[in-house]
Amino acid sequence: MKLYSYWRSTTSVRVRIALNLKGVDYEIETIDLPKGEQKADSYAALNPMKGVPTLVLDDGTALTQSMAILDYIDTVWPEPPLYPANPKERALVDAAAHAIALDIHPVNNLKVLGYLKGTLGHSQDETVDWMCHWMNEGFTAFQQLIRPDTPFCFGDSIGMADLCLVGQMVNARRWGLDLTPFQRLVEIDDRAREIDAAQRGMPENQPDAQPT
């Protein structure tokens, strides 16, 4: 099984950590997004959206979109679970996870930032302000959606909401978002980083990691 991944991709972070948590063997194939490797015809044939991650199964099936990949992973390798068994509790987890995956991330990804700078002519500072604005808005809601007093977002172990949070925290720290109002999220992120499976999924531990 092969995971096409870029070291700084927050969606790739989610999938890498999930595979590690489940103890699944996989090979990483790096895709350099800034260099445009995702636009190559050979890769676009696997992922028409020309993004990462893409998980290619042993039978050649290419899965795209991180949330769909995570759902597949959790279904095929159910232990440890990424969701609670109770349907109502699962819906609450999904609501929080989607706040990041569907609301924050889409306006912070490379395509959008490239359009803001390259087509609309915004400066780097304006682009960073854009990202931090939407992360601040999203984190404010996310912090209210999760449990107030559990080790992780909804319980004693990493779940779907935590995977999304940890990935987005990579961007928050990278772009200098003021995390003072989000100490609950900082604590969860720090706790997750102490887990080997999560640590191995972090950007700095990837084969294509670059000095920062």
Order of all β-strands in the sheet with 2-5: 27-30, 2-5, 54-56, 62-64
Contact 36, 9 (CB under 8 A): no
Q: How far is CA 25 from CA 54, 134, 168, 212, in A?
A: 15, 35, 25, 28
Query: Tens digit of pLDDT for each residue in 15-40?
Result: 999 999 999 999 999 999 999 999 99
Give the start-end residues of each E strand in 32-190.
54-56, 62-64
Contact 14, 66 (CB under 8 A): yes
| Cβ partners under 8 Å of residue 57, min gap 6 | 1, 63
For the chain, the structural domain boundaries read 2-80, 87-197
Architecture of the domain made up of 2-80: 3-Layer(aba) Sandwich (3.40)
Query: Tens digit of pLDDT for each residue in 86-119?
Result: 999 999 999 999 999 999 998 888 888 889 999 9
Domain 2-80 shares a fold with domain 87-197: no
* pLDDT score for 109: 85
Determine the distance from the C-alpha atom of residue 78 to the mean position of all C-alpha atoms in its chain, rounded to a whole number: 20
Average pLDDT over residues 122-129: 94
Architecture of the domain made up of 87-197: Up-down Bundle (1.20)
DSSP states along 174-195? HTT---GGGHHHHHHHHHHHTS
